[in-house]
Structure 1
């Protein structure tokens, strides 16, 4: 992909699923990749996979909802690779499809912390370095749940709508600094994300009515291809966009 050779890229949630696929694609394009994941073993395994293919990568681990960890991830890119050119906020967790009246404090706080607070903290940590360089690309993994109210529970839906708002705000605020911010909105995708649902609860019963519109299940690499495109110079004039990667679900 244009402009990615020798670039410094941070991918969160890169130990598995869409994040792993994106890390491998960036590395194959010649980028140097910080593989960030809360699972240290998974992150190291992806680093080893990239290095075995002749690429360059380092691991960074920890809870990205902690500002100190977010700062350390960005610092890893700077000390290891001389800067940060691309930030991919991909790490995420699913909710239990709970309706608003049924969401526990713990579920709400966990989903918002991982899906919205962590991308904000990483973006805040990366922006000064991108501004100083006069160039940068941020790609966030949103969801079909960011486009509608029928794709997930209240916590997940709110977190992904918030992530779209963050994406668009950054796009407007920093475009004069040469920074682009975009998001993908994946539809149903085969990943390792955990989903625990009580099918008899109010939320899952209501949402079941709308499942016939989801289209085919995507592979993680389908989403990764869109992420790498948005980060590349091929998308140099694409900014503030939320790109559905969903086999047409958003069009139904």
Structure 2
């Protein structure tokens, strides 16, 4: 028996929504932990891609950018193929493309806006997971598995939300999509385990992402946001989510499958008390 050494996450990471925000923080966390390569998949413009790529490459990690829409099967099939063509495999996938979508009440719900939210946040998760799993099913185990441990052919982490458990008014579309994400993750975990693939979700708490800045920018929204942060106990930073995703992706987490981990400093157990 010897002490563990070397990079924590030496494989290949594939991150949807990876050019910016939480997705890019995850990509950077993988780079910090020694990933051989990182793939950023996004619908962002070229300037945003280059900024996200630079953040990864500054850490000495090779980075591939792919413009692809998670709601389109041909795009995701192509994205996975391009990643494998460059790096031969995908060891860690993180599906973080998402939108807040409609803030209509149920009584006033615009169904087109509802459907757009489902398309990105739930169907997009399904499509990404589908093609990531198909690739991982063809792979041998990642190197470095300790004696006596099961092979690990891939890990997928999907982005849910505290709204996969709790909710508030005027968030029906988003809440439904995140409940669906949690459900897809559970089914994929059961289907993937026979192939030594783990599928989990994380549910970030309240971070000031581009999705919520328009809400926080109003007087009413600012008061609401301050209440959320108070219930959470403090402000959170993107890197905290990135590091959790890396840790959950490691072969050392080999028995963790089908889990939805809340990254919220106790927000969801606080029952509205500050």
- How many corresponding residue pairs? 246
Please tell me whether the aligned partners of residues 111 and 156 of structure 1 are also in contact (alpha carbons under 8 angstroms).
yes
- Say if 2:115 is the partner of 1:97: no
Distance in 2 of aligned mates of 1:151 and 1:213: 18
Distance in 2 of aligned mates of 1:148 and 1:160: 10
State the partner residue of 1:168.
Answer: 186
State the partner residue of 1:19.
Answer: 23
Distance 1:249 1:237, change over 3 A: same
Q: Secondary structure at the match of 1:181?
A: strand
Distance in 1 of aligned mates of 2:255 and 2:29: 21
State the partner residue of 2:150.
Answer: none
The one of the two structures with greater contact order (alpha-carbon pairs below 8 A, sep at least 6) is 1
Q: Secondary structure at the match of 1:230?
A: helix
State the partner residue of 2:247.
Answer: 229
Distance in 1 of aligned mates of 2:169 and 2:188: 25
Distance 1:78 1:92, change over 3 A: same
TM-score by length of structure 2 reads: 0.82
Instruction: Give structure 2 stretches of 5+ with no counterpart.
Output: 1-5, 141-152
Please tell me whether the aligned partners of residues 96 and 196 of structure 1 are also in contact (alpha carbons under 8 angstroms).
no
1:52 Cα shift?
A: 2.8
State the partner residue of 2:138.
Answer: 132
Instruction: Give structure 1 stretches of 5+ with no counterpart.
Output: none
- Alpha-carbon displacement from aligned partner over 1:143-162 (angstroms, at most 9, x marks no partner): 00001133860000000000
Match for residue 86 of structure 1 among 58, 76, 92: 92
Please tell me whether the aligned partners of residues 88 and 138 of structure 1 are also in contact (alpha carbons under 8 angstroms).
yes
State the partner residue of 1:57.
Answer: 63
For residues 24-63 of structure 1, the aligned pairs below 5 Å read: 24-31=28-35, 32-41=37-46, 42-63=48-69
- Alpha-carbon displacement from aligned partner over 1:82-102 (angstroms, at most 9, x marks no partner): 011111101111134332222
- Alpha-carbon displacement from aligned partner over 1:79-127 (angstroms, at most 9, x marks no partner): 0100111111011111343322222123212211111111111111121
Please tell me whether the aligned partners of residues 47 and 57 of structure 1 are also in contact (alpha carbons under 8 angstroms).
yes
Please tell me whether the aligned partners of residues 89 and 135 of structure 2 are also in contact (alpha carbons under 8 angstroms).
yes
TM-score by length of structure 1 reads: 0.89
- Alpha-carbon displacement from aligned partner over 1:186-237 (angstroms, at most 9, x marks no partner): 1101222255559899xx9xx89x8463432311111111111111123222
Distance 1:238 1:57, change over 3 A: same
Distance in 2 of aligned mates of 1:27 and 1:76: 19
For residues 228-247 of structure 1, the aligned pairs below 5 Å read: 228-247=246-265
Q: Secondary structure at the match of 1:182?
A: strand
Distance in 2 of aligned mates of 1:84 and 1:4: 12
Please tell me whether the aligned partners of residues 168 and 241 of structure 1 are also in contact (alpha carbons under 8 angstroms).
yes
Q: Secondary structure at the match of 2:138?
A: helix
State the partner residue of 1:115.
Answer: 121
